[in-house]
């Protein structure tokens, strides 16, 4: 009965209930409670919607070497199996951007409870962060078709630009392949800046009307 009642609560209320007792925490951390909230986070996203909404499944696709690189700021002395690194990465992504993970001069020690969080719950909070991410992954960059608009160009519809994963791109304006590079790329977060040939560096941002589109603006 408690679980049924908790399905009507908002995530902020569930977080408060979680702190009351072990019994209520066990009731709150159920798939049936967090699954609708996770779906709601991604309901408006169509273009950049991930193949799987569960963070655990997304982390499984990362190799062990990349897991270790992504966890360079986390204490992984207790990680032995690949599954241990996966849990540590999921927990660190859960805390990413929060005060808990800031201003720590040494490697961060993750609390033991964070390594065994409900998969739907941690995916919900990670999804909220992901929706406002201003960096862009290479897979996203090479999937989206961009249009470049120049201040002094008479072309009002813009010039279509297509990025390729071999670090080349095709521009309607130039008519030939050009090269591009990330200025600050991370396997987990992607990159916020790219440079095309010798042109000024471009920065990514989100459009105001939603969560599924990126735009690039020139850094002056």
Q: Which residues does 102 contact at the CB level (< 8 Å), separation at least 6?
A: none
68-112 pLDDT, tens per residue? 888 888 889 889 999 999 999 988 888 875 544 444 556 778 888
Helices 82-95 & 119-131 angle (0-180, nearest 10): 50
Rounded to whole angstroms, how far apart are CA atoms 80 and 63? 15
Q: Which of 186, 184, 190 is nearest to 219 (CA)?
A: 184
- Give me Rg for the CA atoms of the chain: 21
**Closest of 41, 31, 40 to residue 7, by C-alpha:** 31
- pLDDT digits over 29-72, tens only? 889 999 999 999 888 777 667 788 898 888 888 889 888 888 88
Q: Are 182 and 193 in contact (CB under 8 A)?
A: yes
Q: Which two tokens stand for residue 204?
A: 């990514």
Where does the pLDDT of residue 187 fall: very low under 50, low under 70, confident under 90, or very high at 90 and above?
A: low
- pLDDT given at position 153: 62
Q: What would you measure as the largest C-alpha separation in the chain, in angstroms?
A: 66
Q: In 96-217, where does DSSP find H-type helix?
A: 119-131, 138-141
* Number of Cβ within a 10 Å radius of residue 184: 12
Q: Summarize the confidence of residues 153-174 as an average pLDDT.
A: 82
In this predicted structure, the answer to whether residue 215 has a pLDDT above a threshold of 80 is no
Give the Å distances, CA to CA, from 166 to 98, 104, 178, 180, 183.
Answer: 35, 37, 11, 9, 16
What global pTM score does this model have? 0.70
Q: How far is 26 from 220, CA to CA, in rounded Å?
A: 52
């Amino acid at each position: 009965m408690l679980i049924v009642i908790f399905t009507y609560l908002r995530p902020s209320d569930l977080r408060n209930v979680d702190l009351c007792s072990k019994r209520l925490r066990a009731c709150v951390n159920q798939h049936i409670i967090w699954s609708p909230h996770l779906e709601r986070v991604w309901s408006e996203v169509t273009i950049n919607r991930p193949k799987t909404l569960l963070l655990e499944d997304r982390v499984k696709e990362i190799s062990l070497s990349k897991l270790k690189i992504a966890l360079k700021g986390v204490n992984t002395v207790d990680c032995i199996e690949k599954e241990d690194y996966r849990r540590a990465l999921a927990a660190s992504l859960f805390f990413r951007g929060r005060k808990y993970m800031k201003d720590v001069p040494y490697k961060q020690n993750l609390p033991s409870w964070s390594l065994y969080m409900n998969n739907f719950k941690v995916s919900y909070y990670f999804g909220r962060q992901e929706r406002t991410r201003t960096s862009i992954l290479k897979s996203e960059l090479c999937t989206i078709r961009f249009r470049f608009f120049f201040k002094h160009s008479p072309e009002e519809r813009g010039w279509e630009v297509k990025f390729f994963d071999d670090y080349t791109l095709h521009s309607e304006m130039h008519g030939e392949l050009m090269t591009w590079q990330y200025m600050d790329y991370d396997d987990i977060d992607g990159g916020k800046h790219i440079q095309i040939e010798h042109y000024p560096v471009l920065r990514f941002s989100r459009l105001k009307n939603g969560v599924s589109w990126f735009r690039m603006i020139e850094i002056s």
